[in-house]
Amino acid sequence: MAKITRLSQLDLDGVYSYADYLTWQFDETVELLRGKIALMSPVPSFSHQDISTQLLVEIGSYLKGKACKAFHAPFDVRLYDRRKSIVANREIVTVVQPDLCVICDKHKLDSKGCLGAPDWIIEILSKSTARKDMQTKFQLYQEAGVKEYWLVYPYEATVSQFFLDEQLEKYQLLKMYANQDQITPCLFPDLSIDLQEVFTR
Protein backbone atom coordinates (compact mmCIF):
# COMPACT_ATOMS: atom_id res chain seq x y z
CA MET A 1 0.00 0.00 0.00
CA ALA A 2 1.36 3.44 -0.95
CA LYS A 3 2.30 5.72 1.95
CA ILE A 4 -0.19 8.57 2.37
CA THR A 5 1.72 11.72 3.31
CA ARG A 6 -0.61 14.34 1.80
CA LEU A 7 -4.35 14.78 2.18
CA SER A 8 -4.55 15.39 -1.56
CA GLN A 9 -3.64 11.72 -2.14
CA LEU A 10 -7.02 10.69 -0.73
CA ASP A 11 -10.42 10.72 -2.41
CA LEU A 12 -12.51 12.98 -0.18
CA ASP A 13 -15.62 11.25 -1.53
CA GLY A 14 -14.22 7.80 -0.72
CA VAL A 15 -15.05 5.58 2.25
CA TYR A 16 -12.28 4.65 4.66
CA SER A 17 -11.79 2.65 7.85
CA TYR A 18 -9.72 3.09 10.98
CA ALA A 19 -7.19 0.69 9.46
CA ASP A 20 -6.71 3.24 6.64
CA TYR A 21 -6.64 6.13 9.12
CA LEU A 22 -3.70 4.56 10.95
CA THR A 23 -1.57 4.70 7.79
CA TRP A 24 -2.07 8.42 7.11
CA GLN A 25 0.96 10.60 7.82
CA PHE A 26 -0.09 14.10 6.80
CA ASP A 27 -0.26 17.23 8.95
CA GLU A 28 -3.97 18.01 8.65
CA THR A 29 -6.25 16.84 11.45
CA VAL A 30 -9.27 14.87 10.23
CA GLU A 31 -12.08 12.77 11.62
CA LEU A 32 -13.83 9.80 10.06
CA LEU A 33 -17.62 10.01 10.14
CA ARG A 34 -19.22 6.81 8.84
CA GLY A 35 -16.13 6.31 6.69
CA LYS A 36 -16.14 9.81 5.22
CA ILE A 37 -13.25 12.20 5.81
CA ALA A 38 -14.26 15.31 7.77
CA LEU A 39 -11.75 18.14 8.01
CA MET A 40 -11.40 19.79 11.38
CA SER A 41 -11.03 23.51 12.04
CA PRO A 42 -7.37 24.36 11.44
CA VAL A 43 -6.92 26.56 14.54
CA PRO A 44 -9.57 26.84 17.27
CA SER A 45 -10.40 30.41 18.28
CA PHE A 46 -9.24 31.97 21.54
CA SER A 47 -12.81 31.76 22.85
CA HIS A 48 -13.03 28.06 21.98
CA GLN A 49 -9.72 27.28 23.65
CA ASP A 50 -10.53 29.35 26.73
CA ILE A 51 -13.90 27.63 27.26
CA SER A 52 -12.32 24.22 26.71
CA THR A 53 -9.60 24.96 29.24
CA GLN A 54 -12.05 26.27 31.85
CA LEU A 55 -14.23 23.16 31.52
CA LEU A 56 -11.25 20.80 31.55
CA VAL A 57 -9.89 22.37 34.75
CA GLU A 58 -13.29 22.15 36.48
CA ILE A 59 -13.99 18.59 35.40
CA GLY A 60 -10.40 17.38 35.84
CA SER A 61 -10.24 18.75 39.39
CA TYR A 62 -13.52 17.05 40.26
CA LEU A 63 -12.37 13.71 38.84
CA LYS A 64 -9.01 13.72 40.64
CA GLY A 65 -8.71 10.46 42.55
CA LYS A 66 -11.78 8.96 40.85
CA ALA A 67 -11.95 6.13 38.30
CA CYS A 68 -13.17 8.39 35.49
CA LYS A 69 -10.70 10.37 33.40
CA ALA A 70 -11.13 13.54 31.31
CA PHE A 71 -9.46 13.99 27.93
CA HIS A 72 -9.33 16.83 25.41
CA ALA A 73 -8.65 17.05 21.68
CA PRO A 74 -6.61 15.87 19.93
CA PHE A 75 -7.64 12.47 21.30
CA ASP A 76 -8.97 9.70 19.04
CA VAL A 77 -12.28 8.09 19.99
CA ARG A 78 -13.22 5.07 17.86
CA LEU A 79 -16.96 4.49 17.77
CA TYR A 80 -18.67 1.32 16.64
CA ASP A 81 -21.91 -0.61 16.92
CA ARG A 82 -22.22 -1.16 20.67
CA ARG A 83 -23.93 -4.52 20.11
CA LYS A 84 -20.59 -5.95 18.93
CA SER A 85 -18.10 -7.20 21.49
CA ILE A 86 -15.02 -7.40 19.26
CA VAL A 87 -14.25 -5.02 16.40
CA ALA A 88 -11.34 -5.08 13.97
CA ASN A 89 -9.75 -1.82 12.81
CA ARG A 90 -11.10 -2.36 9.29
CA GLU A 91 -14.65 -2.54 10.68
CA ILE A 92 -14.40 0.82 12.48
CA VAL A 93 -15.48 3.67 10.20
CA THR A 94 -15.93 6.45 12.75
CA VAL A 95 -13.04 8.16 14.52
CA VAL A 96 -13.82 11.44 16.26
CA GLN A 97 -11.83 13.92 18.32
CA PRO A 98 -14.28 15.46 20.81
CA ASP A 99 -13.32 18.75 22.38
CA LEU A 100 -13.71 17.10 25.79
CA CYS A 101 -14.72 13.63 26.90
CA VAL A 102 -14.93 11.66 30.12
CA ILE A 103 -14.30 7.91 30.18
CA CYS A 104 -15.07 5.78 33.24
CA ASP A 105 -14.27 2.31 31.88
CA LYS A 106 -10.47 2.00 31.85
CA HIS A 107 -10.73 -1.03 29.56
CA LYS A 108 -11.79 1.30 26.73
CA LEU A 109 -8.46 3.12 26.91
CA ASP A 110 -5.39 2.02 25.00
CA SER A 111 -2.28 3.54 23.44
CA LYS A 112 -4.37 4.84 20.49
CA GLY A 113 -7.04 6.59 22.57
CA CYS A 114 -10.52 5.28 23.35
CA LEU A 115 -12.22 2.27 21.80
CA GLY A 116 -15.93 2.59 22.39
CA ALA A 117 -18.26 5.31 23.63
CA PRO A 118 -17.09 7.76 26.29
CA ASP A 119 -19.58 8.33 29.10
CA TRP A 120 -19.74 12.08 28.52
CA ILE A 121 -18.80 14.25 25.54
CA ILE A 122 -18.68 18.04 25.25
CA GLU A 123 -18.42 19.75 21.87
CA ILE A 124 -17.76 23.48 21.64
CA LEU A 125 -19.37 24.79 18.48
CA SER A 126 -17.77 27.04 15.92
CA LYS A 127 -19.32 28.40 12.75
CA SER A 128 -17.47 25.79 10.68
CA THR A 129 -18.36 22.78 12.89
CA ALA A 130 -21.85 23.65 14.19
CA ARG A 131 -23.77 21.51 11.73
CA LYS A 132 -21.44 18.54 12.21
CA ASP A 133 -21.69 18.74 16.02
CA MET A 134 -25.46 19.35 16.12
CA GLN A 135 -26.47 16.76 13.52
CA THR A 136 -23.86 14.21 12.41
CA LYS A 137 -22.04 13.77 15.70
CA PHE A 138 -25.29 14.01 17.64
CA GLN A 139 -26.54 10.93 15.76
CA LEU A 140 -23.23 9.09 16.02
CA TYR A 141 -22.92 9.67 19.76
CA GLN A 142 -26.52 8.64 20.28
CA GLU A 143 -26.05 5.40 18.31
CA ALA A 144 -22.76 4.59 20.03
CA GLY A 145 -24.27 4.99 23.50
CA VAL A 146 -22.58 8.16 24.80
CA LYS A 147 -24.67 8.73 27.93
CA GLU A 148 -24.38 12.52 28.20
CA TYR A 149 -23.73 15.09 25.48
CA TRP A 150 -23.27 18.82 25.93
CA LEU A 151 -23.31 21.32 23.08
CA VAL A 152 -21.61 24.58 24.05
CA TYR A 153 -22.45 27.73 22.07
CA PRO A 154 -19.62 30.25 22.71
CA TYR A 155 -21.20 33.25 20.96
CA GLU A 156 -24.52 32.85 22.76
CA ALA A 157 -22.81 31.75 26.01
CA THR A 158 -25.25 28.85 26.40
CA VAL A 159 -25.12 25.08 26.85
CA SER A 160 -27.61 22.42 25.73
CA GLN A 161 -27.55 19.32 27.94
CA PHE A 162 -28.68 15.99 26.47
CA PHE A 163 -28.97 12.64 28.24
CA LEU A 164 -29.47 9.26 26.61
CA ASP A 165 -32.78 7.49 27.24
CA GLU A 166 -31.53 3.89 27.32
CA GLN A 167 -34.91 2.38 26.46
CA LEU A 168 -35.58 4.64 23.48
CA GLU A 169 -31.87 4.86 22.58
CA LYS A 170 -32.51 8.57 21.93
CA TYR A 171 -31.17 11.76 23.45
CA GLN A 172 -33.53 13.83 25.54
CA LEU A 173 -32.88 17.55 25.91
CA LEU A 174 -32.84 18.05 29.66
CA LYS A 175 -32.23 21.78 29.81
CA MET A 176 -30.62 24.77 28.16
CA TYR A 177 -28.35 26.85 30.37
CA ALA A 178 -27.32 30.49 30.08
CA ASN A 179 -24.08 32.15 31.13
CA GLN A 180 -25.16 32.97 34.69
CA ASP A 181 -26.41 29.46 35.50
CA GLN A 182 -24.85 26.61 37.42
CA ILE A 183 -24.82 23.41 35.35
CA THR A 184 -24.59 19.89 36.76
CA PRO A 185 -23.89 16.77 34.69
CA CYS A 186 -26.40 13.95 35.22
CA LEU A 187 -23.51 11.52 35.57
CA PHE A 188 -21.94 13.49 38.41
CA PRO A 189 -24.73 15.16 40.42
CA ASP A 190 -22.31 16.55 43.01
CA LEU A 191 -20.35 18.51 40.37
CA SER A 192 -21.58 22.04 39.80
CA ILE A 193 -20.00 24.24 37.11
CA ASP A 194 -20.44 28.01 37.19
CA LEU A 195 -21.03 29.02 33.56
CA GLN A 196 -20.25 32.63 34.35
CA GLU A 197 -16.70 31.47 35.05
CA VAL A 198 -16.63 29.33 31.90
CA PHE A 199 -17.80 32.18 29.66
CA THR A 200 -15.98 34.90 31.58
CA ARG A 201 -14.05 36.20 28.56
Mind listing the pLDDT tens digit for each residue in 140-183?
Answer: 999 999 999 999 999 999 999 999 999 999 999 999 999 999 99
**Helix intervals (H) in the chain:** 18-21, 46-63, 130-131, 137-144, 195-198
For the cut 90, the answer to whether the pLDDT of residue 128 exceeds it is no
Q: Do both 178 and 136 map to the same domain?
A: yes
Is 53 strand, coil or helix? helix
Q: How many domains does the chain have?
A: 2
pLDDT of residue 201: 66
Confirm whether 2 is domain-assigned. Answer: no
Confirm whether 1 is domain-assigned. Answer: no
Q: Do both 29 and 95 map to the same domain?
A: no
What ranges make up the beta strands (E) of the chain?
30-33, 36-39, 69-72, 77-79, 94-96, 100-103, 109-110, 113-115, 120-124, 148-153, 158-165, 170-177, 182-183, 193-194
Tell if the pTM clears 0.85, that is, is over it: yes
DSSP-derived letter for residue 40 is P
Q: Do both 87 and 179 map to the same domain?
A: yes
Bridging pattern class, strands 182-183 and 158-165: unpaired
For the cut 90, the answer to whether the pLDDT of residue 44 exceeds it is no
Q: Do both 32 and 52 map to the same domain?
A: no
DSSP-derived letter for residue 24 is B
Q: Do both 14 and 55 map to the same domain?
A: no
Q: Do both 142 and 187 map to the same domain?
A: yes
Range of the domain at 166: 46-198
Write the CB contacts of 35 (distance below 8 Å, at least 6 apart in sequence): 15, 16, 17, 93, 94
Residue 86 confidence class, pLDDT cut points 50, 70, 90: low
Q: Do both 129 and 69 map to the same domain?
A: yes
Q: Do both 11 and 78 map to the same domain?
A: no
For the cut 90, the answer to whether the pLDDT of residue 81 exceeds it is no
Cβ atoms 142, 169 nearer than 8 A: yes
pLDDT of residue 1: 58
Q: What CATH number is attached to the domain comprising 98?
A: 3.90.1570.10
Q: Do both 29 and 53 map to the same domain?
A: no
